[in-house]
Structure 1
Amino acid sequence: MQTLYRRLLNLLPKLGMQVLDLGPGDALVSRRGGRTRLPVGQGADLLARRNGGYAVTQVGEDTWVIARDRPAGAKAKAKAKAKPQAEAQAKAQAQAKAVGAWESVRLGDTGAHLLLDPQASAGDERVFQLAAAEYLCAHHVTALLDKYEVNCVFDVGANAGQYGSRLRRLGYTGRIVSFEPTSAAFAKLQKKAANDPDWWVFNFGLGREDATLDIHVDWNSMNSLLPPTDYGRGRYKRFAKSNTEQIEIRRLEAVMEEALDGLADPRPYLKMDTQGYDLEVFGGAGKRIEEFVGMQSEVALLQLYEGSPRMHEAVAVYEDSGFEITGMYPVTREPATGRVVEFDCVMMRAAASGG
């Protein structure tokens, strides 16, 4: 005798519903498109649209890559749609048993695997290394923000909000205060932060003294108050443009009260990416730089901008103020020689860790 549950499952297809019976007491009911159940290991199944073209590839113990096939043209798609469910499932199961194009690289004893597409990583190794450095830097910073209980990040040279967005994606929930002086980039920043009440944005730059200055624009993320060096002009064609925009510059110490308003126990972190102007921003903090538990600055080994400090000069100033290096991550490399042009330098006050 059929149970009420079983009779209901038999009735649903007559009402236009698709039913996939997963086992005793479990079923997947959907309005559109049939599903198929693809075993990917002991105790684990993949539910996919029937004829959805999913490929399942094992890359390590308990590690699987699930990707959608990309048929070469309409004929391939039509052929795939014509395949019965059993054939599609058999194909997926066969793919699941074979190690596909993905290369699994074990990351030490962490239990994690780095999955590499050999075709994507077979080109210029610098591209892969810089992408890895950016990833590692972002995770290092967010881990430090948590460890040092940072509740306000000063994002100086915010551009269109890339840094703030990355912090949010990686789980930072504290206040972000972003400063971007150029009008076009600020419009994008303002839009990005519009629905985040803990992300404040200001349309001015920071420096050693209050001033009104001209900034070079139309250099995308490399807009600078400083002119390019001969080396910079040779490296970046964008520096051939000479458009400028008048902007307001304020001292960091003058905006801190407003930026930290409402925080009972402020623990700020200073991030600077101002294309050669970081030391000017830092100098504008005066004695209040002592309130920052950590900082991040883009430091240069090869000068792109006239008057910008070299890495050893900038780091010496930061260290004299009590900060110590926790990480150095390449930002750009010189194509011809492989030399690092700039590093993201992450520094903290060890005494502020509470450890």
Structure 2
Amino acid sequence: MVTSASDTGRPDWRFQPIHPTRATLPMMLRPLKTWIRNTSRALGYDIVPLRDMKDRDFAIHLGQLFRFLQIDCVFDVGANVGQYHDFLRDKVGFLGTIVSFEPVSRNVTILQQRAAEDPRWEIVGHALGSSRSSLPIHVMKSDQFSSFLTPDNSGVPDFDGLNEPEHVETVAVYPLDEVFPVLQQRLGFRRPYLKLDTQGFDLEVVQGAATTLRNVVAMQTEASIINIYEGMPGYMDTIRFLNERGFDISGLYPISRDPGMRLIEFDCVMVNRAIAESAAAPRH
């Protein structure tokens, strides 16, 4: 599914459904893979290819968290070409709705093509931020680094040539508070998870979600220890900001390290304090 800004500058929420004509083999096998994974874990074992060991604990934690909090939809903000969708489907075993937000035009095209194979995957072709606007985004040579912020590789010289602008696109930006109710009415989800991976722009997204955050059951943000963009918030500022808005840490998972084994950034999983406490309360 895809939506974008219309020529009038107003949001165009006329989602265009993309229905596969037939299920592909990978899609047909996913329920079987999920059953095998869940059954093996219930017996105290896990079947993990060596290449996936890095993400194993993260995937298990998210699976437990999603079941405990009954998460039925994931907002994948900063989708790139769908890597997080694949992680959720193939490693976590999440079969619910995924809404992927991605502003870079070539990535949107790829996502639209890929979403044709997954009827529970929605693509929204714009960015999220603190307010409605149009902003230039730096599309980097390695486009997983693409950001509204200017790169600063002084702390991690190994990123030279990767975190380096290839071109600039002007993209539409909307606050999540404007987008969320439209999506909720259309898709019918009740317990969403918010994943943020916007290369230094995560808190801008949160600032545009003051109302929505009360309904977010849990979330994930990419926190930076060694900044790789000018003006990006540090990890302590990020965690403090979210903690003040009612979210507590549930898990920390390294993303990358520099040649000196210093941690550059990590994924921080947080739960909505009020919702988690309610879920954990004894039932009488």
Change (3 A) 1:249 1:116: closer
Q: Does 1:351 align with 2:274?
A: yes
Of residues 252, 277, 281 in structure 2, which corresponds to 1:328?
Answer: 252
Could you tell me which residue of structure 1 aligns to residue 106 of structure 2? 184
TM-score (norm 1): 0.61
Aligned equivalent of 2:236: 312
**1:220 paired to 2:143:** yes
1:189-226, Cα deviation, whole Å (9 max, x unpaired): 11221132221111000001111111111332111110
- The amino acid across from 1:348 in the alignment is V
CA distance in 1, matches of 2:49, 2:102: 36
Summarize the Cα distance change of 1:161–1:232 in structure 2 as closer, same or farther, 3 Å threshold.
Answer: farther
Task: Find out whether 1:235 has 2:177 as its counterpart.
Answer: no
Question: Which one of the candidate residues 69, 76, 79 is aligned to 1:158?
Answer: 79
Q: Give 3-state SS (helix, strand or coil) of 2:211's partner.
A: helix
Q: Given that residues 228 and 305 in structure 1 are in contact (C-alpha distance below 8 angstroms), is that contact kept between their aligned partners in structure 2?
A: yes
Equivalent residue in structure 2 for 1:340, among 245, 256, 263: 263
Give the C-alpha shift of residue 115 in structure 1: 8.2
1-structure distance, mates of 2:222, 2:48: 29
Q: 1:304 to 1:267 in 2, by over 3 A?
A: same
Query: Structure 2 vs 1, CA of residues 269 and 230 (structure 1 numbering), >3 Å: closer, same or farther?
Result: same
Pairing 1:28-107 to 2, within 5 Å after superposition: none
Paired positions, count: 233
Do the aligned residues in 2 keep the contact of 1:134 with 1:331 (CA within 8 Å)?
no
Work out which of the residue numbers 249, 264, 267 in structure 1 matches 2:173.
249
Q: Quick one: structure 1 residues 253 and 339, their matched pair in 2 at CA, closer, same or farther if it must change by over 3 Å?
A: same
Deviation of the 1:342 alpha carbon: 0.2
Give the Cα separation in 2 of the matches to 1:256 and 1:312.
27
TM-aligned CA deviation for residue 283 of structure 1: 0.7
Q: Which amino acid aligns with 1:180?
A: E
* 1:296–1:346 CA contact under 8 A, matched in 2: yes
**How big is the alpha-carbon RMSD for the aligned residues of Structure 1 and Structure 2?**
2.1
Deviation at residue 315 of structure 1 after TM alignment: 0.3
Contact between 2:156 and 2:258, CA under 8 Å: does it hold in 1?
A: no
Deviation at 1:285, TM superposition (A): 0.5
How far off is 1:241 after superposition?
3.6
> Which residue of structure 1 lines up, in the alignment, with residue 127 of structure 2?
205
Determine the structure 2 residue equivalent to 1:193: 115
Identity of aligned residues (%): 37
Amino acid at match of 2:224: A
Residue 143 (structure 1) shift: 2.0
Separation in 1, partners of 2:89, 2:44: 25
1:248-277 C-alpha deviation (Å, 9 max, x unpaired) = 111011000122125556111100000011
2:183 corresponds to 1:259: yes
Report which stretch shifted further, 139-148 or 173-182: 139-148
Contact kept? 2:153, 2:163, Cα under 8 Å: no
CA distance in 1, matches of 2:48, 2:94: 26
Q: Report the Cα distance in structure 1 between the residues aligned to 2:189 and 2:151, rounded to whole angstroms.
A: 41
Unaligned runs of 5+ in 1: 1-109, 118-127
Residues 299-346 of structure 1: per-residue CA shift (max 9 Å, x gap) = 0000001111000000001101111111101000011x1110001000
Checking the alignment, whether the CA contact within 8 Å between 1:233 and 1:240 is kept in structure 2 is: no
Question: Which runs of 5 or more structure 2 residues have no equivalent in the other structure?
Answer: 1-42
Aligned residue type for 1:307: G
What is the one-letter code of the residue matched to 1:171? G
**Structure 2 counterpart of 1:338, one-letter code:** M
C-alpha deviation, 1:239, in angstroms: 2.9
* Equivalent residue letter for 2:72: N
TM-score calculated relative to the size of structure 2:
0.76
1: CA distance between counterparts of 2:142 and 2:46?
38
Structure 2 counterpart of 1:88: none
Q: Which has the larger radius of gyration?
A: 1
Q: Which amino acid is the alignment partner of residue 124 of structure 2?
A: F
